């Protein structure tokens, strides 16, 4: 039975002790698999993705239990742990992957008798070895046991002394006077030497090894394969287009970099174009979760506590837990527990390869999921740290020379030299630069985005200095249908954007011109009625330029505008402005003129009412003033009797004003009702 194991999910990871580095092997981003006997598992397949990663597959024959070493650059270990796949057909195979943890060096150094993990100085080393027996040269040889390290102020600097117990007394020796030292304990000297070896080896290489152990019940020979995805330089593409032939020649080349320290020898190379999700997750460094600190459970003393009175029914607690809400929560929790248990079961991974697609002379193209893969037809050999250009496509395509006038230029400009090309290669082509040749010589450079089969694209590679173009702009507003109904006047207008392109061809031959006209948001095309094609942001029109002649081309776009006016809310001046606007039809203006007259009457009635109300307010204020004066002088005095006479007159005047106000209010209501009724009754189409 053939088994495929996703190591990042199902394999057992073991922390490997000992030296971080192999005795030999390959560094760089790519691994070179070797089995336990030293024979390599050859690299047989490479797929380079446009997302910056590469798929590598090794394969070979092993017997019985086999150990395979996979050296990776430290920057590639996270990706290797995330993607490593093992394919072993052996019955009962249970692969194990072990590797040195990122903490191995630090923790190994800390475990040694002499700890160099924090880059200590001589004073720190002595302080950490208090009690150890040591032999120093200062400059004479002295034997003793380390009692400690002391610092004593000496001006701006401190003097550091080793406190050494020797011959029954403590002796202070300045560190600056010590020429050399050695521990009397051979184990400490061995640990110091081992620590230095580990540090030197780690600094010398960035390689980290994954050790794969393939366990098999039988000793028979079998074919196994390993694959993984790690960072690689992206592959690039460049094209050549020769427009000087009746059937234009089109070539595509892939640029591939082997940035590793391993040779690619006769590998199957695929180049995958697309935009997959790709990310790095830190699987290599160990992580430790922070946990809460709980105090010790000791007896201590009990705290006083009071209790609330209980309920009479003994079944209350049982009723709570039988309640629908609690029961629903318990059922949901049980379902979640079952789901979590089933999710923890291992799911076997499956391995697939992209099916081949159409074939051209240089490479076979085919779908790779939602991406597109190019597989070089012949095995590829590419030495380490070398790059190569590999043929991708070589054939003919359809191309029509044309000039392209783009944008909204100010002043005279030259249209761009270009071509309309159709992808008849049968392959999806990635984005890249195109070097254009015409008439047997270099004509210019162009760029093209992702180019699907049978798709048409325009490219441009220069300017035609024999052709000049200019653009004239104008905007005009026209009033269309005006309607009045339900007291609302609707004015329909259209804003016409007009651009006239004038192009002069000083050359002798007729030329094809593509005019790229920017789309005006919300507007519709009025002239011309047809176009060659349209994108989200522009129209493309085609024109023929006669040799030695001049051509003008006009594009009109109409933007519909609609204005709604509630007539009852218009003031007199606004009414008058619309009634005199010559853009509005005569029948509507006549109706608005009548509405203006009614509005004037309503406004005059409102003004008369306001004046009466103001007059009443003034009379009341005068009456209050006289009343205050009367209270001050008394009504039995001569001035008081005059004030009484004046107040009586004011009362009669206020009564008269009140009658006028009542009549004025009725007039306001009548004139406003006449205006509203007239406006509501208008129905003009």
Reference 47, options 230, 224, 210, 209; nearest CA is: 230
Q: Give 504-530 pLDDT, tens digit per residue.
A: 999 999 999 999 999 999 999 999 999
Least confident of 187-191, 194-198, 217-221, 363-367: 363-367
Say yes or no: 576 and 542 in one domain: no
Say yes or no: 559 and 600 in one domain: no
Q: Give 117-140 pLDDT, tens digit per residue.
A: 888 888 888 888 899 999 998 888
Give the integer Cα–Cα distance in Å for 268 and 283.
29
Domain that includes residue 643, residue range: 570-684
**Does some domain include residue 635?**
yes
**Does some domain include residue 602?**
yes
Give the integer Cα–Cα distance in Å for 506 and 466.
5
Q: Give 283-309 pLDDT, tens digit per residue.
A: 877 777 887 877 766 655 445 443 344
Distances (CA, A) of 501 to 403, 405, 593: 14, 9, 45
Q: What whole-number percentage of the chain has pLDDT above 90?
A: 32
Say yes or no: 580 and 551 in one domain: no
Say yes or no: 585 and 526 in one domain: no
Give the integer Cα–Cα distance in Å for 43 and 60.
9
Longest dimension (CA), the chain: 143
Kindly report the pTM of this predicted structure: 0.60
Say yes or no: 594 and 630 in one domain: yes
pLDDT at 168: 86
pLDDT at 402: 94
Q: Give 222-271 pLDDT, tens digit per residue.
A: 888 899 999 999 999 999 999 988 889 999 999 999 988 788 999 999 99
Say yes or no: 575 and 658 in one domain: yes
The alpha carbon of residue 427 and the mean position of all alpha carbons in its chain are separated, in whole angstroms, by 29
**Does some domain include residue 53?**
no
Q: Give 544-603 pLDDT, tens digit per residue.
A: 999 999 999 999 999 999 989 898 888 878 888 888 888 888 888 888 888 888 888 988
Say yes or no: 651 and 600 in one domain: yes
**Does some domain include residue 544?**
yes
**Where does 39-96 have alpha helices with state H?**
77-83
Give the integer Cα–Cα distance in Å for 294 and 290.
13
Q: SS3 for 183?
A: strand
Give the tokens for residue 593.
């003129």
Give the tokens for residue 318.
């049982």
pLDDT at 11: 29
* Residue located via tokens 């020649």: 249
**Does some domain include residue 497?**
yes
Say yes or no: 619 and 672 in one domain: yes
pLDDT for 196 beyond 60: yes
Give the integer Cα–Cα distance in Å for 388 and 380.
10
pLDDT for 28 beyond 50: no
Q: Give 425-455 pLDDT, tens digit per residue.
A: 888 888 899 999 998 899 999 999 988 888 9
* Residue located via tokens 């401190």: 158
Q: Please state the domain count of the chain.
A: 3
Say yes or no: 559 and 594 in one domain: no
Out of 564, 599, 621, pick the residue that ends a domain: 564
Write out the E strands in 486-537: 488-505, 511-518, 524-527, 533-534
If you average pLDDT over every residue of the chain, what do you get?
A: 80
* Residue located via tokens 């049968």: 426
pLDDT at 32: 58
Say yes or no: 170 and 142 in one domain: yes
Other beta carbons less than 10 A from residue 522's beta carbon: 11
Say yes or no: 586 and 551 in one domain: no
**Does some domain include residue 430?**
no
Out of 564, 582, 600, pick the residue that ends a domain: 564
pLDDT for 215 beyond 90: no
Q: What whole-number percentage of the chain has pLDDT above 70?
A: 81
Out of 564, 596, 625, pick the residue that ends a domain: 564
Say yes or no: 474 and 509 in one domain: yes
Rg value, the chain, Cα: 48
Give the tokens for residue 41.
């598992």
**Does some domain include residue 507?**
yes
**Does some domain include residue 508?**
yes
pLDDT at 26: 34
For residues 58-86, give the mean pLDDT: 87
Reference 675, options 604, 570, 602; nearest CA is: 602
Give the tokens for residue 574.
């606004």
């Amino acid at each position: 039975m053939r088994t495929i194991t996703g190591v990042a999910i199902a394999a057992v990871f073991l922390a490997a002790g000992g030296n971080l580095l192999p005795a030999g092997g390959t560094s760089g981003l790519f691994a070179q698999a070797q089995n336990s006997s030293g024979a390599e598992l050859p690299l047989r397949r490479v797929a380079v993705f446009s997302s910056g990663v590469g798929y590598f597959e090794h394969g070979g024959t092993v017997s019985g239990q086999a150990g395979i070493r996979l050296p990776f650059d430290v920057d590639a270990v996270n990706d290797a742990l995330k993607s490593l796949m093992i394919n072993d057909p052996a019955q009962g195979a249970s692969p194990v992957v072990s590797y040195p943890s990122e903490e191995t060096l630090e923790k190994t150094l800390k475990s040694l008798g002499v700890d160099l993990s924090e880059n200590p100085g001589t004073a720190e080393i002595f302080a950490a070895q208090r009690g150890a027996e040591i032999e120093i040269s200062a400059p004479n040889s002295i034997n003793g046991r380390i009692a400690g390290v002391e610092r004593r102020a000496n001006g701006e600097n401190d003097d550091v002394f080793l406190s050494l117990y020797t011959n029954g007394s403590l002796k202070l020796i300045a560190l600056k006077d010590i020429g050399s030292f050695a521990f009397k304990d051979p184990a400490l000297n061995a640990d110091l030497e081992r620590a230095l070896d580990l540090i030197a080896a780690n600094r010398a290489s960035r390689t980290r090894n994954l050790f794969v152990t393939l366990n098999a019940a039988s000793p028979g020979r079998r074919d196994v394969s390993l694959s993984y995805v790690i960072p690689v330089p992206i592959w690039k593409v460049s094209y050549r287009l020769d427009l000087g032939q009746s059937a234009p020649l089109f070539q595509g080349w892939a640029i591939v970099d082997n940035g590793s320290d391993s040779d690619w020898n006769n590998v199957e190379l695929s180049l995958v174009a697309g935009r997959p999700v790709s990310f790095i997750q830190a699987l290599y460094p160990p992580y430790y979760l922070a946990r809460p600190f709980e105090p010790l459970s000791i007896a201590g003393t009990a705290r006083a506590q009071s209790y609330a009175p209980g309920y009479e029914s003994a079944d209350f607690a049982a009723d709570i837990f039988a309640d629908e809400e609690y029961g629903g929560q318990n059922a949901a929790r049980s379902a979640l527990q079952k789901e979590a248990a089933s999710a923890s079961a291992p799911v076997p991974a499956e391995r697939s390869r992209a099916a081949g697609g159409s074939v051209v002379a240089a490479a076979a193209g085919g779908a790779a999921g939602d991406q597109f893969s190019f597989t070089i037809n012949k095995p590829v050999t590419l030495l380490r740290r070398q790059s190569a250009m590999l043929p991708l496509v070589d054939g003919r395509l359809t191309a029509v020379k044309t000039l392209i006038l783009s944008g909204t230029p100010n002043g005279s400009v030259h249209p761009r030299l270009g071509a309309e090309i159709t992808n008849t290669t049968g392959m999806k082509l990635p984005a890249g630069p195109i070097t254009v040749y015409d008439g047997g010589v270099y004509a210019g450079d162009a760029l093209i985005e992702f180019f699907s089969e049978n798709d048409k694209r325009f490219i441009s590679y220069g300017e035609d200095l024999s052709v000049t173009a200019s653009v004239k702009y104008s905007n005009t507003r026209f009033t269309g249908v005006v309607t009045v109904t339900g007291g609302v006047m609707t004015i329909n207008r259209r804003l016409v954007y007009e651009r006239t392109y004038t192009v002069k061809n000083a050359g002798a031959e007729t030329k094809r011109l593509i005019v790229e006209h920017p789309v005006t948001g919300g507007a519709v095309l009025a002239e011309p009625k047809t176009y060659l094609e349209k994108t989200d942001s522009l129209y493309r029109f085609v024109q023929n330029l006669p040799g030695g002649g001049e051509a003008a081309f006009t594009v009109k776009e109409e933007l519909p505008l609609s204005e709604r006016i509630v007539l009852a809310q218009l003031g007199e001046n606004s009414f008058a402005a619309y009634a005199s606007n010559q853009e509005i039809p005569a029948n509507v203006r006549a109706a608005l003129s009548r509405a203006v007259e009614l509005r004037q009457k309503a406004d005059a009635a409102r003004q008369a009412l306001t004046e009466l109300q103001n007059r009443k307010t003034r009379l009341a204020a005068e009456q209050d003033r006289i009343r205050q004066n009367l209270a001050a002088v008394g009504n039995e005095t001569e001035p008081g009797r005059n004030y009484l006479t004046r107040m009586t007159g004011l009362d009669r005047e206020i009564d008269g004003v009140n009658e006028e106000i009542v009549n004025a209010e009725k007039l306001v209501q009548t004139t406003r009702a006449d205006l509203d009724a007239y406006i509501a009754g208008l129905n003009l189409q």
